Amino acid sequence: MFSIRLKRARKAAGLSLRELGARVEVSHAAIKKYEDGTTMPSSDILIKLSRALNVRTEYFFRPEAVELENIEYRKRGTLPKKQLKAITHKVIDQIERRIELENLFPQPPVKTFAPVAELPGQVDTMEQIESIAETVRDAWELGYDPIPDLIDVLETNGIRVFKIDTDGENKFDGLAARVNDMPIVVVGRHWPGDRQRFTLAHELGHLMLEGRLTEGLNEELASNRFAGAFLFPRNSVLQELGQRRNAIELKELGLLKEEFGLSMAGILYRARDVGIISHAYREEQAKLFYSKGWHLKEPGLDYPSEQAHVFEQLVFHALAEEYIGESKAAELMNLSLHQFQRVRFMESGNAVFN
């Protein structure tokens, strides 16, 4: 297990064998032997490895390794493979810590995900997706109000969500995968909240629509339609914008973005999908957005980033019930014991799970 974790941590750090060897003052051949499992480093080299790779020494001996199944990346094609591998290994590290933590509880602390039972077995048109999104909201008791914390909603219903820092120069949106049939969704920490929320809702669309779409429907477009309808349902769109409009002011779009956490461009799509504005008007506005660079960054303040609290809450739950001690809690949160104690006693603000 040590050899596998060392190789994974090195790739996550984006280091070659030679680069890592230079940092810990051993040859690249020695690093290769560690990764092949033919030799083990001494205790002082192990400490140097953990510092060079920015992991705790306990990481190398964590019991369970996971494999991502059915992985789907949401990224630009120009994202270098080296960076993509590093991102993937960071994601795996987070998932392993999450699984290890959950396994410490006598009973599973998070429910098992299952698609909503009332959904139709077959979806023939995009219009049906509107009602599917509403069915999911009804089953999860969300009503038609804005969803203030989408990560919490997904986690409550059995979808594990992770945020990750990347060096992808805004080329990585996120990924979806399964681990032991458990759905995993990852979003980039650097994106504005409205973009994170759309990625999360899009992945929820994939989970709810899986195996239901007829051959003529594009799954990506269908998941986009679901995402918009889930974040800003038809009844709310009609209530906010009215039955029919010739135009919509930019400030109106900005205010609705603040309320529902959907981008201004996304709101225009919703208005078109619901039949409030024409296809021609939506296309005209899309050209305007592109000409002003708003397709990259919309005017006004960014929508606040989504917050992921469940992991930290589970750590402190386990600590309070004495399933773990302080040292283990610090390890799971990737903090030194001193850092963890400052977080525990609220001396240093909120921790960030990384």
Q: Give the pLDDT confidence of 112-143 residue by residue, as tens digits.
A: 999 999 999 999 999 999 999 999 999 999 99
Whether residues 287 and 316 share a domain: the answer is no
Whether residues 187 and 46 share a domain: the answer is no
Whether residues 169 and 267 share a domain: the answer is yes
Per the model's pLDDT, the better-predicted residue between 15 and 147 turns out to be 147
DSSP state for residue 213 in the 8-state scheme: B
- Provide the token pair at 44: 């002082």
> Mean pLDDT over residues 316-324, rounded?
95
> Mean pLDDT over residues 345-354, rounded?
67
Whether residues 319 and 280 share a domain: the answer is no
Angle at 104 between CA 103 and CA 107, to 5 degrees: 75
Task: Indicate whether 62 pLDDT > 80.
Answer: no
Q: Residues for the chain: how many in total?
A: 354
Q: Is residue 300 part of a domain?
A: no
Q: How many CB atoms sit inside 10 A of residue 118's CB?
A: 10
Whether residues 263 and 131 share a domain: the answer is yes
Whether residues 266 and 336 share a domain: the answer is no
Contact 168/83 with Cβ under 8 angstroms?
yes
Q: Are strands 182-188 and 172-179 parallel, antiparallel or unpaired?
A: antiparallel
Task: Indicate whether 276 pLDDT > 60.
Answer: yes
Q: Is residue 330 part of a domain?
A: yes
Q: Are strands 160-164 and 182-188 parallel, antiparallel or unpaired?
A: parallel
Q: Is residue 112 part of a domain?
A: no
- pTM to 2 decimals? 0.83
Q: Is residue 49 part of a domain?
A: yes
Structure confidence at residue 259 as a pLDDT band (50, 70, 90):
very high
Q: Is residue 51 part of a domain?
A: yes
Q: Is residue 146 part of a domain?
A: yes
Alpha carbons 8 and 4: distance in angstroms, whole number: 6
Within 13 Å, how many C-alpha atoms sit on residue 57's CB side? Answer: 9
Q: Which of 74, 76, 77 is nearest to 91 (CA)?
A: 74
Alpha carbons 325 and 328: distance in angstroms, whole number: 6
Whether residues 168 and 253 share a domain: the answer is yes
Q: Is residue 247 part of a domain?
A: yes
Whether residues 209 and 270 share a domain: the answer is yes
CATH number at residue 7: 1.10.260.40
| pLDDT for the residue numbered 227 | 98
Mean pLDDT, the chain, integer: 91
Q: Is residue 83 part of a domain?
A: no
Beta strands in 111-247 (DSSP E): 160-164, 172-179, 182-188
Q: How many domains are contained in the chain?
A: 3
Whether residues 275 and 133 share a domain: the answer is yes
Containing structural domain, residue 337 = 310-344
